[in-house]
Amino acid sequence: MSADLIYLVLGLALLLAVVLPIALSRCAVSAPIVLVGVGAVIGLLPFDKYGLDPVSQQAFTEHLAELTVIVALMGVGLALDRPLSLLRPRSWRGWSLTWRLLLIAMPLSIAGVALLGWWVMGLAPAAALLLGAALAPTDPVLASDVQVEGPSVTDDHDEIEESDQVRFALTSEAGLNDGLAFPFVYAAILLATAGPVAEWGLKWVGWYVIAKIAIGVIIGVVGGWLLGKIAFRSARESLAVARRGEPLLALGALLAVYGLAEVAQGYGFLAVFAAAMTLRSQERGHEYHETMHSMIERLEQILTLMVLLLLGIALTNGLLAALTWPGVLVGLALVFVVRPLAGWVALRVGHRSEPIGVAERWAIALFGVRGVGSVYYLAYAEGQAVFPELRELWSTMAFTIIVSVLVHGIFATPVMRRLERIRAAAA
């Protein structure tokens, strides 16, 4: 990609970051829809052929999506008010909706998409599993319309609690499933490179499912705890950044924790989210959490706008060239059938322990937004193994993201407002 185009995309991203949030605040059309459309128009302009192709520019695509996701995960972790502590088992009950979505809805979605990819699209088992693993996780980047708005700060710590079950469930699910989908991405890579499951199944469970998750969580929790202690309670003025209100701690924390987790062979996505949650748990009512979140949110907006503009440009420069009618059916099935049914089943299991209304249950099941995380997983797998159907996978994934952006972008705001009115009437 040429330097001139990079300047153009960065400039447009910054300008739109200033204008769009307010301009679209009362519209049913979301910013991602506008940005993809603007990018598509830019892609039609008579520039030199700069080859904006995720297949040929795998490293750039992977690292841009990677940075966008970890910034979003930091923001999600800082935004959640509901506590979660490894040392307080009772706190886990408040996350029961999240656990059901992660342990039931996500595996069902992966299996459903993989089965459709194999049966409808005729993909090889490894490619079908990769498609399922990449598309199943909900996205922390593009789901801002249905997520919690930010951390609540108050002197009374007992008052800090999310009352909106829909926003909490979708936010916490997006924060955790980007890391928990990684074992299935690795399973697809191993299936493509290491032969039958019998040859690597035990290693996959022991290392990719258990050990790498544990490493990521431990590094995240310890890193967040240490940084929180230093920032809030250090006697040295130079280290007590919370008292100075220096927001760059959040950026430094996410990069350091992510890098350490990756060096240690753990899942960096989980480490960043765990670090953010642990940092948030310290001095919960301190306004510094809001300061950090605001900075991360602005950086996330810029990166997201850039990714969406580039996605739009790629759409009109061949990204959908390998899309087939079976691929269209799989993408539509995920958005309208697989995720809603998987989410509904997950929320019906054990629903008496944390009852929610039918409208809220359907909202959680339906609003599983697909986005930048899927781009990262597919680009990462491309760098690890050879998948002959790679271009078809990219086209199908891009189509699914566009459908998700359109459908969820149009209906998210009206549906969330409707739920707020229902809760207000019930109160």
Whether residue 259 lies inside any domain: the answer is yes
CB 396 within 8 A of CB 321: no
DSSP string, 323-377: --HHHHHHHHHIIIIIHHHHHHHHHHTTGGGS---HHHHHHHHH-----HHHHHH
Q: What band does 261 get if pLDDT is binned at 50, 70 and 90?
A: very high
Whether residue 93 lies inside any domain: the answer is yes
134 alpha carbon, distance to own chain's centre: 11
Token digits of residue 205:
């469970």
Residues 6+ apart with CB under 8 A from 51: 1, 57
Whether residue 186 lies inside any domain: the answer is yes
Q: What band does 5 get if pLDDT is binned at 50, 70 and 90?
A: low
Token digits of residue 117:
């990819």
Whether residue 157 lies inside any domain: the answer is no
How far, in Å, CA of 104 to CA of 235, rounded? Answer: 46
Whether residue 315 lies inside any domain: the answer is yes
Average pLDDT on 155-160 reads 49
Q: What is the CATH number of the domain that holds 232?
A: 1.20.1530.20
Burial of 257 from C-beta contacts in 10 A (0-12 / 13-18 / 19+): buried
Mean pLDDT score across all residues of the chain: 87
Q: Whole domain around residue 202: which residue ranges?
A: 3-138+165-426
Whether residue 155 lies inside any domain: the answer is no
pLDDT digits (tens, 9 = 90+) for 50-71: 557 888 889 999 999 999 999 9
pTM for the whole structure? 0.92
Q: What band does 159 get if pLDDT is binned at 50, 70 and 90?
A: very low
Dihedral (Cα; 144, 148, 151, 157), 10-degree rounding:
-170
Which residues does residue 88 pair with via DSSP β-bridges, in sequence order? 85
Name the domain count of the chain.
1
Whether residue 156 lies inside any domain: the answer is no
How far, in Å, CA of 190 to CA of 170, rounded? Answer: 30
Whether residue 150 lies inside any domain: the answer is no
How far, in Å, CA of 175 to CA of 141, rounded? Answer: 10
Average pLDDT on 352-376 reads 83
Name residue 340's amino acid: P
CB 304 within 8 A of CB 68: yes
